[in-house]
Each structure stands twice: as C-alpha cells, then as structure tokens.
Amino acid sequence: MREFFRGKRGACFTGLEGGAQTNLRGLSAALFSGFGFSPPYGVFLSFEQALEYAFEQSLEERTVLILDDYQLLVRADPSVSSILQHLIDRHKDASKLMLLICGAPVDWMEANVMGYCAALYGRRTGQLRVNPLGFFEARRLLPSLPPEDAAILYGSVGGMPRHLARFAGEASAAEAPRKHWFSTDGCFFGEAMAVLRQEVRALPTYVDTLAALANGSSCLADIARQTKRPTAAVIKTLAALEVLDIVRKETPLGARISRQPRWRIADDMFRFWFRFILMDADRIADMGPEAYLESVSRALEKFMAPVFVRICTEYLWHCRRLEKAPVPFRSARRWWGRDERTKTEVEIDIVAETGDDRTLFGACCWTEKPVTEHVLLELDDLSQHHFRCRERHLWIFSRAGFTETCVEVAKRRPNVRLVTFAEMVREVEAYEAFKASDSDDPDA
C-alpha cells in the first residue's frame, strides 16, 4: 500500500490500538503531513471534520486517502463508517478522492465494510484480497540466499512480506533461525502468541487445538482426543481459526463434501511456532539456539515436506500457464484414501486432473538423500490402482536429486519426468528474467 502511495498527494493512516482521541490525533497528523496544512489547534475536533477535510482537498485534483487497519479505527469510534457513508454520498459527484480501506481479518471486513447491513454497503468500486506470496515471488525478497535456504525461511514464516523482510541480508538459513526464531529475544519467538492474544479470547482452548494440529493430529476425532474436549467444541474452535486463515479444512481430490476432512495449520508461522517453540521454549533457553537447531534438523526436514508440496504445486501451475505441462489440468490437489490391499491409509502429494481422464500425479521429496526408484514405483502403483486414466503422467520432485537407478527406470518410461528443486528455481528465474528484459525493451 505504501509503495502504491509513493509519489501521490494524499494521506496514509494506520489505525492505532487506542481510544478515539488517540486515533483522531494520528489521523490529523497524517492529513496535515500529507496535505501540507496545519491548523492553529493542531488536531481536528472530530473524525467528521478530519474526513471532510480529506474530501475537500480532492475537489480540484486527484488525491489518495488510505485507512489501514481500519478495524482498529472503527473499534475506537464505531461512527467512522457512518461518517464515511455520508461523505461519500455528499461528494461522490465532485470529489476525485481515491479512498482505500484496508483491514483484517477477512470476515470482519466482509461483515462491517462489504456486508449488506454495513454502513458502506454499495459504495465500494472494487475489492482486493491480498494473499501471501508464493515461494517464487517470496524468493525475490531473499536474493542473497541459496534457493534451499530461502525455501526453509519461507517455510518458517510463509509468504507474508513483512515477515520475510526480517530475513533480508541474512547469509544462510542456519543463521537466520538462530537469530530470529530460536533466540529468546528474536522477533518471532513470541509472535504467534501475541497475534492470538489479540484475535481470540479463550486463549488456552486455541493453543491446545493448534498444538494438537502441529504435532500431527488432523482428523476431528484425533484433535478432540488430544485436547480432551467435546467434538462440537473443537468444531467451533476450528471454525474460528479458519476464519482467521490460521487453519484450513481439506478434503481429498474427488471426495464428497460429507467425507470427514483433514485439518491443518495453513499459516506457516503458526505451524513453525507451535511445532518448535511452544513446548521447547525452556529447552531452547537451556541449550542455546545453535545446539537446539542442530538437535531438530531431522524434524525440520519433516516440517518442510508440506511446504515443498506447495512449492512443487506452484511450479506445476507455472508450467501450466506456459503450456509446458503434459496435460492442461484445471486443479491440483492432494489425494488420500484407504488401500484395501494393505489395509492402510495412502496418499499422493499432487493429483492434477483435466476432467477428461488425463491426469498428472506428483510425488514431492524434501530429503537430504537422492530419491530412489521406490518412490517412482510406488507412485506408479498407487496412481494405477486408485485412478482410471486414459493418459497418466508421473512427475517426481526432489530436493537432492535422484539415484542412478531411479534415472534409468525413468528413462524407460516416456510418461515420467524427474525434476530437481534447483531445476525448478532456475527455470522460473530464467522466465522472470526474460519477462523483465522483454518489458524493458521499447521495441518489444
């Protein structure tokens, strides 16, 4: 938002954790700074007077007013939305003001800004939901890091630019977690709990639920058993966390809605914090960041597995957009189910289907050792047994490459492709560099 605002005339104000007068003083300061005017009394007498001033400044020229963290401003004075409603109606024909209202969580904005009963209903000209960055976008914020190190840091905080910016200039994925995650004065050491305290009331209930998810529970019954709470209460907690975009409910590809879903922590920062910080805070303090990081290296590899699946899925969509995928798939999701041959639960990391019996199956391996032919053969077996396809493609993604035997087996199968993480990064970065040079060429 501030990058968009750069070079434009107007004001940008971020709501404050305070009362009405605190926010009014902050808004007044932003307006005076942005429009270059300061009245003798130094602060507007009311929100109506302050916002009226912003509209009046736009009668002759295009100006911008950004109200960020709008939920805090409304919490301080609920009449702000009604004031904006009347000002928009009064000045809509003459004003050249671009009013941008930003806030979170999403459900609050939908109910209090965009909802039918909201004061501002019917007055917006557009809306944009800002999603976290994908890995290849986030990689641009960590240009000095090797791709694997960038992936690990991305996996620890997700695609929020504000969090990724903390890692800018770091030399490696070993140094950054020690400084920012596993140091008791690190910026992320208490971040997740601070966010929860701000968003929820019954804190212990939410902590127990997220801890159960972080430690492997995904089915409703398992979560209820781990937290020792009734299923109905767990559903209510999960629903609240889902609204905050902290957890997500998933069903396997092709399953009916009524099938029991799996729950997972969707916010990587919360997932990392509840996996490594919550129960190990004392251990980290006793051992020190270096020793603790070394002791959890295997657990960190396991933690990265679902992150790598997301990265591989993102790469597949990149191939799809460039028409380099073997099938023009329209969805790419995880699949799981019961294998009656072995009486066990099995899953496939990526199933990308077109809807006409042409399907791409993917297996994603974030391991230190090269992938063996067993991964390829298992994917081949599961895809044949559980899916009926007239055209079947198998892609194996690996962090550390492939064994010679795996490469030989793949060469004998024209529907198999082996893809390394380094290859994915090189291909996407080469395309982005070409696109950037093409856009800079005036004759292109």
pLDDT, tens digit, 9 for 90 and up, residues 171-195:
777 788 888 888 888 888 888 898 8
pLDDT, tens digit, 9 for 90 and up, residues 71-130:
999 999 999 999 999 999 999 888 899 999 998 777 778 788 888 888 888 888 888 877
Please say if the pLDDT value at position 297 is more than 60. Answer: yes
The tokens describing 171, both together, are 């030399």
Q: How many CB atoms lie within 10 A of CB 293?
A: 20
H helix or E strand, kind and range, residue 154 = helix 147-157
In this prediction the pTM is: 0.83
For 2-114, CATH gives 3.40.50.300
**Which part of the chain has CATH 1.10.10.10?**
136-303
Domain 310-432 has CATH 3.40.47.10: no
Query: What integer best gives the mean pLDDT of the chain?
Result: 89
Q: What is the pLDDT of residue 121?
A: 85
* Residue 306: pLDDT band with limits 50, 70, 90: very high
Contact between residue 60 and residue 3 where contact means Cβ atoms under 8 Å apart: no
* Residue 387: pLDDT band with limits 50, 70, 90: very high
The tokens describing 119, both together, are 């004061």
CA distance 192 to 228: 23
**Which part of the chain has CATH 3.40.1350.10?**
310-432
Contact between residue 324 and residue 357 where contact means Cβ atoms under 8 Å apart: no
Q: Tell me 104's DSSP state.
A: S
Q: What is the pLDDT of residue 39?
A: 60
**Which part of the chain has CATH 3.40.50.300?**
2-114
* Topology at the third CATH level for domain 136-303: Arc Repressor Mutant, subunit A (1.10.10)
Q: What is the pLDDT of residue 181?
A: 87
Please say if the pLDDT value at position 389 is more than 80. Answer: yes
* Residue 256: pLDDT band with limits 50, 70, 90: low
Q: What is the pLDDT of residue 245?
A: 87
Q: What is the pLDDT of residue 321?
A: 95
Q: How many CB atoms lie within 10 A of CB 395?
A: 24
* Residue 285: pLDDT band with limits 50, 70, 90: confident
